[in-house]
Structure 1
Amino acid sequence: MSKCDLYLENYQTHYTGGQTIIGHVLVTFTSDKEVHGIVVRIKGEATTHWTETESHYNSTTKRNESRTVSYNGSHVFINHEIDLLQNGGSSRFIREGVHKYPFIYTLPADLPSTFKEHLGKIQYKIKAVVKRPMLKFNYEAESPFMVVTPVDLNRNPSLRDPATRNKEKNTYFFCCNRGSIKVQANIPKTGLSIGERLPLHISVENLSQSNIECIKCKIKKDVEFHVTSPHHRTRHDKDTIYSENYSGVGAHGENTYNETIEINNAAIITNFVNCDVIKVSYMLEITFVLSGLHTNIELGMPLSLGHIPIGVRNTTMAAPPAYNMVNTATAPPVTPPTYGFVAPPDAMPMPVPMPMAMPVPPPYNDAASGFNFGGYPTAPMAPSAPDFTTAPAKSKDDWEVLDDPTNLPTYDQAMAYPTKT
């Protein structure tokens, strides 16, 4: 059966921005084929979507009715095509056999990480297409791949600066002043990495007749999803990723707290760099819970969470080890030419089936030598090949099988015929 297979030779668990994709397209023809081109398309895109029900006036029925409106947003980061034949789209014939076409592509440096939620997602796909003449089905192979880009807190110098918040509140019973409460909180910096401990200093001076029952400290994550069609809208997905309670302060009392904040190693911190439709922010919220009918006192300080701590400069991400689906211990080394190589039978890589569902991107834990920010094992993970589905052949001659599949043409025979006149 004629088909097209796609292989990524250095893909293990993910790529990162600035890394080079190395792969090849393996085209199998059971008979001579006319093609208009062989291309590899790489696309990275963020999309947002939701529906809302709104009321409108129907001029035909002269009634107010409800309708469902679909809101969408999109931001394309990569839309690149590699022409493997470089024939300008002109027609040429390729002999029956197995043909290998290598390709490389360097990803842009600052790419947002793979992400998926119910309101939006960031995904990357790679697709190989053998273009056939009109009325012929193309041969295609497509698969998603994962991008994990670490958040480097050193890229924003302002995150080194300390932050202080304070507030004073007067308490009343009806119209009578029952005293004031003064609170203050400060942190030495506003950039916090996974697994790092951030000192938190809180001081309370309670000169009122009311009790501060407890102090609640939380870090809240706010993911913003933006749509642009049919018009601009924004939705938020909020979550609490850190929570801690401290003891309170009685009336006419005071206290000082020296605490530490630490983000769990299992927390997922996604990099949304250069993404226009999905953004994230973090806020440290400190709530002083007052007794009785008094409103609470709240302090808030914006934070930035990341993977590479402030002051750590070893930010080079090592490329995943090359994943070669050929058993190099038994197969002879093969140096593919730049075009039209026919793979020997004993060295032909075979597809490794895997589910198409992409796992959740892991936290980046190899940002600096000796650190483990994400809570994942520091030892290299077992290599696994992504699943590359192959479109089945559709034309009649595509179902023919060679009498002797090991009788492959030579490299010279595998070269394409001249353009058909």
Structure 2
Amino acid sequence: MSVPMNCLGQPAQQMPTVALNLVLSETRVYSGECLSATVLLDSADPDNAIQEFLAEISGVGQTGWVNIHTDKIYETEQAYLNIVVPLCQQPMELSPGRHKFGLRVTIPDSVPSSFESQFGSIRYSIKVQLIGNAEHCSAVEVFPFLVLAKSYFDDIPHAIIHFDYQDEIDFTVCTLPFGTVRLQISLPRTVFCIGEVIRAHLHVRNGTRKTLKDCRLQLVLKTQFEARSRYEQASDRKVVENVMDSYPLGRVKGRTDLDMEECMLRVPEQAVPTHQGSPDSIIVLSYVLRFNALPGIETEIPVVVTSLGYRQIVAEPARPERNGQAMKGGGRERGARRL
């Protein structure tokens, strides 16, 4: 059998005769749950055969930047997940047409949520690799998917109770006392889930003669990135803040009070849950409620954002016994209740 040659006298490269695709049952999966997908393999050559067919499920965190003052390059990579699943247990011939291969794998409870930012990311992907009996029937494709770390209010019992926060800010002019601003914020709890509306009761007593301007309550995401130098035994950190929602309060005149029965802030649906991780985590996510006012007033309350609300315990229905007496049904966990 003659081998086709190109104009340079080299063996001509044949067009691929296979194509890979992936269909996910859901584009986003919770940690601790099963990722289900179907791998689609289209073959156009009756001589094609599979020698090896694998799916590699991986999760990687990356941080990196260049310090503009020292020109040092900082970058770090951290692996969260690496699972290899054979899609075909033994070599097989491929008839022309579409072939389907099922893929099921459990995502560990400990992995963090998917995240994208300027200085770092947490990404998950499925790499499908087909090794055939020839180069034109071999292929590699990478398909991304999203992970949301599963967390509940019940995991943080101290944050479920009602919380009252008080602070006093003393103003001085030329070392002389100029008055005090007293702030009180009441929250039903300090843990909230994605998509929830935070309802805060806020009271400001302005004991100074100055008007407090641009008063507002904000939900702020703080992201800490850590990376190590490429060439030296040194590390660098960056903290980036993103305002997720803001509630304007206006002005508070001197010697007056401001009482807001309900300041409402919403945790966005696309928000990422709080992630503290281990001491060596390269990406840490935390949230605060911040009160801002001019001139120079800023105070913060740490809060926690979870992916789900309370765990919901549902009682099993009573089952009749043979003698007509009802059996007592036990309780079992049935997912979580969203707020």
TM-score for both structures, normalised by structure 1: 0.58
State the secondary structure of the residue aligned to 1:158. helix
* CA deviation string 1:264-290 (max 9, x = no partner): 65x521247558222211111113435
Q: Which among 262, 270, 273 is matched to residue 272 of structure 2? A: 270
Give me the whole-angstrom Cα distance separating, in 2, the residues matched to 1:96 and 1:205: 77
TM-aligned CA deviation for residue 137 of structure 1: 7.5
Amino acid at match of 2:47: S
Is the alpha carbon distance of 1:138 and 1:299 closer, same or farther for their aligned partners in structure 2, counting shifts above 3 Å?
same
User: Does structure 1 residue 302 correspond to structure 2 residue 305?
Assistant: no
SS at match of 2:159: helix
Look up the match of 2:259: 256
Partner Cα separation in structure 2 for residue 247 and residue 2 of structure 1: 64
Q: Does the aligned pair in 1 maintain the 2:197–2:267 contact within 8 Å?
A: no
Return the letter of the residue paired with 1:82: V
Q: Which residue of 1 aligns with 2:82?
A: 79
Q: Distance in 2 between matches of 1:178 and 1:2?
A: 78
Amino acid at match of 2:95: G
The question of whether the paired residues in 2 share the 8 Å contact of 1:195 and 1:263 is answered with yes
Shift of 1:303: 1.4
State the alpha-carbon separation in 2 of the partners of residues 117 and 146 from structure 1.
17
- The reply on whether 1:44 has 2:44 as its aligned counterpart is no
1:33 CA drift (Å)? 5.3
Change (3 A) 1:146 1:102: closer
Which residues of 2 match residues 138-217 of structure 1 at below 5 A? 139-149=138-148, 152-154=151-153, 155-174=155-174, 176-213=176-213, 215-217=215-217
| Distance across 2 between alignment mates of 1:22 and 1:245 | 45
Taking the aligned partners of 2:192 and 2:102, their CA distance within structure 1 comes to: 42
- Does residue 19 (structure 1) correspond to residue 34 (structure 2)? The answer is yes
Q: Which residue of 2 aligns with 1:405?
A: none
Q: Tell me which residue corresponds to 2:95.
A: 97
Question: Are the structure 2 counterparts of residues 136 and 312 from structure 1 closer, same or farther at C-alpha, using a change threshold of 3 Å?
Answer: closer
With 70-79 and 109-118 compared, the bigger mean Cα shift is at 109-118
Q: Whole-Å Cα distance in 1 between the matches of residues 202 and 103 of structure 2? A: 57
Equivalent residue number for residue 281 of structure 1: 286
The answer for the alignment partner of 2:226 in structure 1 is 226
8 A contact 1:24–1:101 mirrored in 2: yes
In structure 2, the CA distance between the partners of 1:3 and 1:178, relative to structure 1 (3 Å rule), is same
Query: SS of the counterpart of 2:142?
Result: strand
SS in 1 for 2:29: coil
Cα distance in structure 1, aligned partners of 2:239 and 2:179: 38
- What TM-score comes out, normalization by structure 2 length? 0.70
Which whole-Å deviations, capped at 9, do the CAs of 1:373-418 have from their partners, x for residues lacking one?
Answer: 7xxxxxxxxxxxxxxxxxxxxxxxxxxxxxxxxxxxxxxxxxxxxx
**Counterpart contact for 2:152–2:311, Cα < 8 Å:** no
Structure 1: 5+ residue stretches without partners: 56-67, 291-295, 316-366, 374-421
Q: Return 152-161 or 247-256, whichever deviates more.
A: 247-256
How far 1:301 sits from its partner (Å)? 0.2
Bigger RCO of structures 1 and 2 (CA < 8 A, at least 6 apart):
1
Work out whether residues 204 and 255 of structure 1, in 8 Å CA contact, stay in contact via their aligned partners in 2: yes
CA distance change for structure 1 residues 130 and 289 in 2, over 3 Å: closer, same or farther? closer
Deviation of 1:22 (Å): 3.8
The alignment partner of 2:30 has SS state of coil
CA offsets, 1:330-351, max 9 Å, x none? Answer: xxxxxxxxxxxxxxxxxxxxxx
TM-aligned CA deviation for residue 34 of structure 1: 8.2
Deviations 1:57-110 (A, max 9, x none): xxxxxxxxxxx43321112122122234556xxxx7x54635765443222234
Q: CA deviation at 1:198?
A: 2.9
Match of 1:358 in 2: none
TM-fit CA distance, 1:190: 0.9
Q: Matched residues, percent identical?
A: 18
C-alpha separation in 2, matches of 1:27 and 1:249: 68
Amino acid at match of 1:127: K
Distance 2:299 2:66 in 1: 35
Equivalent position of 1:413 in the other structure? none
Q: Aligned residue for 2:243?
A: 240
Structure 1 residue identity aligned to 2:41: L
What letter is aligned with 2:57?
Answer: I
Q: CA deviation at 1:178?
A: 4.1
Structure 1 residue 25: deviation in Å?
5.9
